[in-house]
Amino acid sequence: MSKESRAGQITVAWTKTRYNAALALLERPSVLGYLLMLPAAFVIFLFVAYPFAWGVWMSLTNKQIGMPWSQVKFTGLQNYVDLVMNDGVFWTTAWNSFVYTGIATVIKWILGIWLAVLLNRMVRFQRTVRAAVLLPWIVPTVLSTIAFLWIFDPDFSVINWTIRRFYSWMGWGYVKGPLWLGDPTLALASVTFVNIWRGTPFYAISFLAGLQTINPDLYEAAAIDGASGWQRFWYVTLPGIKPITVVVLVFSIIVTFADFQIVYVLTRGGPANSTHLFATYAYQVAMVGSRLGLGAAVSLFMFPILALMIIYQLIYLRREQA
């Protein structure tokens, strides 16, 4: 046998050995799982982890729009100290964020369960009504919010027109109507109402899916035992939709707490910075005020709250699966 043929056989054998080793490695579930996760991990790193790390670093500097990098200085926690100690608008923003999220979440939960129960009891036109209920959630947020600009307009508002017509019909004279987006209290109530209007369908459809997984025999057994309608709701319906309720509430709190579009389109955070949420105030400080470092610090104040919500959801889901 020539040296060339022997070398060729060795090369083929070595190639087969490597191929078999690679194939055996891929047959391991742990290795294959990590390989399949690599594309998603790369996307998460590129669009989540890297921007987050960049934002954390930015919040520790005095970076401003147009400032040369040679003039950027590390300032540590100074931006956070300035927000907490010297910025009254920041505390208004924090209060608004918790009030906005708390009120909107509770009302969406109540209305969502009510709508879900009604839809679950419907026999005719259930699909049509379900599609109609979903419309506020399907329509793009900016587009639907622009429509509310007309609804809340002080001169051409359909609400104020109805109020004026009612006063005229009652003979009480002329009334201009409230400034829905011009009064600090009414403006915050108005943006909260829009969030409730938009988010309730998501609650309703999610709860409806949960209701349809409850065994009807449980309701029949409760009725035989003499349970009232309220008792059946409290002891059968609510426990039956508890898993999906936790998921929906956590998801809704995260989305509502970080809301930007509704407030920005309706009020831009006004009047007099009275309706700012963390997202809109971070945008104003960073993009309008050109203080990128301080704006990044504002946005990062949301991170502990959102992280706690995510951790709670993961712990709860693991307990349910155990």
Query: What is the average per-residue pLDDT within 82-95?
Result: 93
Categorize the per-residue pLDDT at 12 as very low, low, confident or very high, splitting at 50, 70 and 90: very low
> Residue 41's pLDDT is what?
87
User: How far, in Å, CA of 108 to CA of 253, rounded?
Assistant: 11
* CATH, domain range 63-321: 1.10.3720.10
Dihedral, 164, 166, 171, 175 alpha carbons, nearest 10:
-20
> Residue 96's pLDDT is what?
95
- Cα–Cα nearest to 196, from 129, 111, 115: 111
- CA angle (169 as vertex; 165, 172 as ends), nearest 5: 95
> Residue 7's pLDDT is what?
47
Q: Kindly tell me if the per-residue pLDDT of 1 is higher than 60.
A: no
Q: Give the largest Cα separation in the chain, rounded.
A: 116
Which pTM value belongs to this model? 0.84
- DSSP bridge partners of 61: 74
Query: What is the average per-residue pLDDT within 51-79?
Result: 91
> Residue 33's pLDDT is what?
72
Q: Which residues of 31-69 are buried (b: 16+ CB within 10 A; e: fewer)?
A: eeeeeeeeeeeeeeeeeeeeeeeebeebbbbbbbeebee
User: How far, in Å, CA of 204 to CA of 202, rounded?
Assistant: 5
151-158, Cβ contacts within 8 angstroms, sequence gap of 24 or more: 152/180, 152/181, 152/190, 152/266, 154/178, 154/179, 154/180, 154/181, 154/182
Categorize the per-residue pLDDT at 164 as very low, low, confident or very high, splitting at 50, 70 and 90: confident
Q: Kindly tell me if the per-residue pLDDT of 8 is higher than 50.
A: no
Q: What are the structural domain ranges in the chain? A: 1-42, 63-321
> Residue 138's pLDDT is what?
87
Query: What is the average per-residue pLDDT within 102-123?
Result: 91
